[in-house]
Structure 1
Amino acid sequence: MKTPYIHHLFGDDALAKVADHLGWLTVGVASSIAWPQDDVWLNYDGAEYLLHGARQEGEQRISPSISTPVKQNNRDEALARVYRFTSVLGFYKRGYVDITGQVWGSRMIRYSTSTKFATLLQSGHRTFSCNHMPVIEDDQVRKALAFLREGRRLEHVHGPYSFLSFFKVIESQFKANDRIAWVERNLALLTDEQAVKRINELNGQGVNVNRHLFESGRCAVAHASVGGNIVDPDIPADRQRIAADLNIIAALAIQYIKVDAGVPDESDLYRIRDRVAPWHELMPKAAVANLKVGGRVTEVGDLGKLNEAIVSVRLWPDSPPKQFETMKLVPTECSDGVLKFILLSVRNTILLAFAMDVVNGRMHTLLDESGIRDGSDFGEEDVEDFTRYFHSVVANRTVELKIDGAEPVDCDVIIPINIIPRIPEEAVAQALIEFRQRRVQNQ
């Protein structure tokens, strides 16, 4: 499944990106995910979206909403596309995003309210990311995600209808006999604690769980025939039964989407994505194959275009400082499938060290081996740029490496041990004061 790099712009940069476009659809959304506080522009699967940050502006509160350009006389296509986008976004961020209303205009119109909106989680400033969100090309999988979106939104609003939506995730993918066989196989594969507990309870009562989910769940919710099995809205026991069974059907829906359809969420992708894959194409195939099995490269020439490549280094999502725009990659050592290298600034004053673990598909910053080079003619710019880099990385900022012609490679976030992180800008100010004092003393 495609999980491409997704470019993000924030705040004024996001608004500038869309300033000249005429024709917009804006939808209000109900969301359980951490919503951005800043406006965020991104391009997903060839279409632009602007997520309006949830925040206070004067007397108005800007509510969570999404805008997208609309082609003339093609509103239905745009609305359908936003529904698809919200389905994937909600699933990827392990929650739901669903549309509550819509407005069209030649200019973007924000959703605002004078009362407090219901979004409880916010992702902070310039931290929201849906990078590498899967692109859904199979229409059957699209339907499954749409029903999942409905089910998750209804889960704490209307349990029976939530159950029905989760059931449709599976029912939409199989003919009846195939669905029965799939459910039977997968009941034993579920790992969700509450789902397993409920399955064991039903098994202990001698209940056929597969048939129970269909007859006492799906059919009882969807139908109200005389003398038939129904979920009576006035009977607490019926509501309690559906609430307990909801854990099973929700877990089965997730099982289908993740395993059978192969759609990863953000947590799954964090574990499985090969972060250094974009650089494989820059190296000879034999070198990549050797490193992947824990080997080593012995000659600089074995690295192909990667040797002495020009690399841009930034703290995502900020632009790189000038000195970090064109750094030269110099390999230093290699063993056990891990290539260590340094990046040198143009004036050779700053050295940034990294380890590319090809076996595990990870890139690591090596702060202890990075710094301002001894004996170099460095100045305030060097002190400022390196100090900001060092303390930002310690404070869990993501370092991104970019070589022209390849997708950016993101480094693993550092989890500091026995270090009290400092506010980067305060550390920069202090470092500049000390540098100036030393320079005066040496004159």
Structure 2
Amino acid sequence: MDQKLRSQMGWFTGAVASSIPWPAKDVWIQYAGDDFILRGTENGEQRLAPAITTPGVLQRRDECLSKLYRFTSVLGWFRDGFVDVVDITHGSRATVFGVGTRLAHSSVGQFGRKSFDCSHMPIIEDENVRIALAFWREGERLSGVHDSYAFLSYFKVIESQYQDGRGRADCFTRNLDYLPEERAVARIAELRAAGEDVGRHLYDSGRNAVAHASFGGDIVDPDIPFDRRRIAADLVLMRELARRYIAHELNVPTARSLYASRNRLEPWEPLIDPKALATLKAGGTPDLALLELEGLRVGLRLWPDACGCGP
């Protein structure tokens, strides 16, 4: 890792606030053709703030930072949390942030060096997906800090995907009855029992009331306990709608969903006899002769270490 960090002059490092466990030691990730190094929180006896380092020159600052922000959006979603940049530094050599850096933290502790894994993170090329993940990151960061603005960010996950309110309303209708979170289900039942159109309620009493403060109109008044309780109850529902939209309509996997669905034979398929492959996919045991592995050397790797080979 030290050799990688000395391989060029010019690095941006972003201290991050994170709700995913952070690695104890540096982890080098190659994602979408770019290098990102998750700076471990342990450096000998020195404790460090979680951070991410990526190569870049000061003249291309905004381009480099944009790549860093996009990467944090995907990493947070994939690991079922958020990673958000809170401070930036640039230098000819890669630097680190000490513990106590403004707002930088990992709220759930750390992984050991061998246990952090973000293999198979999806490459995001669609602009609509990118912006939805950015608003999701923003909502996750604000959740538990400021309910009203968190609600607005989750709402924008869906609002950003449609040109008019009809598309958004149809999206709510499609997804309301498929939310698994018990508190979201209970809130839907409560609103329907009161005769509310749930989608309209989320727009009028949620989105509009948060975003606007017109005299005499609906607002979320920070001094009114009822308003605070209402937006907190609606926040759970809006968050689950945003999560379902990203997962099921934009089809962005998380580590958990990918683990359940990924075809682990895919990298091997070009090397396996079609008959043997069909047998494996059916759950059977193929004739070993068909696998044609006799005499070959197989490389084994425990990520993130280099490959070690054995017979």
**Smaller-chain TM-score range?**
over 0.9
Task: Write out aligned runs for 1:420-435 (5 A).
Answer: none
What SS is found at the alignment partner of 1:101? Answer: strand
Task: Write out aligned runs for 1:4-403 (5 A).
Answer: 14-55=1-42, 61-71=47-57, 73-113=59-99, 118-120=105-107, 121-175=109-163, 176-294=165-283, 297-298=286-287, 300=289, 302-304=290-292, 306-319=293-306, 325-327=309-311
What SS is found at the alignment partner of 1:95? Answer: coil
Task: Describe the superposition over 1:191-248 as per-residue Cα deviations: whole angstroms up to 9, x where unpaired.
Answer: 1111111111111111111100000000000001111110011111111100000111
Q: May I ask how many residue pairs the two structures share in their alignment?
A: 308
For 1:29, give the aligned amino acid.
V
Q: 1:129, 1:33 → 2: CA distance?
A: 12
Alignment CA distance shift 1:115-1:256 (3 Å): closer
Q: Report the structure, 1 or 2, having the larger strand content.
A: 1
Q: Report the structure, 1 or 2, having the larger helix content.
A: 2
For 2:48, give the aligned amino acid.
I
* Cα root mean square deviation, aligned: 2.0
Q: Cα offset for 1:19?
A: 1.3
Select between 181-190 and 47-56 the one with higher mean Cα deviation.
Answer: 47-56
Indicate conservation of the 8 Å contact 2:202/2:234, yes or no: yes
Alignment CA distance shift 1:55-1:151 (3 Å): same
Normalising by structure 1, report the TM-score. 0.66
Alignment CA distance shift 1:161-1:36 (3 Å): same
Q: Cα offset for 1:126?
A: 3.0
Indicate conservation of the 8 Å contact 1:15/1:39, yes or no: no
Indicate conservation of the 8 Å contact 2:11/2:54, yes or no: yes
Q: Cα offset for 1:171?
A: 0.3
What SS is found at the alignment partner of 1:43? Answer: strand
Of the two structures, which has the highest relative contact order with CA contacts closer than 8 Å and spacing of 6 or more? Answer: 2
Task: Describe the superposition over 1:160-200 as per-residue Cα deviations: whole angstroms up to 9, x where unpaired.
Answer: 00000000000001132111111111101111111111111
Instruction: Among all aligned residue pairs of Structure 1 and Structure 2, give the percentage whose two residues are the same amino acid.
Output: 48
Q: Which sections of structure 1, spanning at least 5 residues, go unmatched? A: 1-13, 328-443
Task: Describe the superposition over 1:241-284 as per-residue Cα deviations: whole angstroms up to 9, x where unpaired.
Answer: 00000111100101111001111111111111122221111013
Q: 2:298, 2:84 → 1: CA distance?
A: 40
Indicate conservation of the 8 Å contact 2:41/2:48, yes or no: yes
Q: Which sections of structure 2, spanning at least 5 residues, go unmatched? A: none
Q: 1:114, 1:208 → 2: CA distance?
A: 46
Q: 1:307, 1:178 → 2: CA distance?
A: 57
Normalising by structure 2, report the TM-score. 0.93
The structure with the larger Rg is 1
Q: Cα offset for 1:114?
A: 5.4
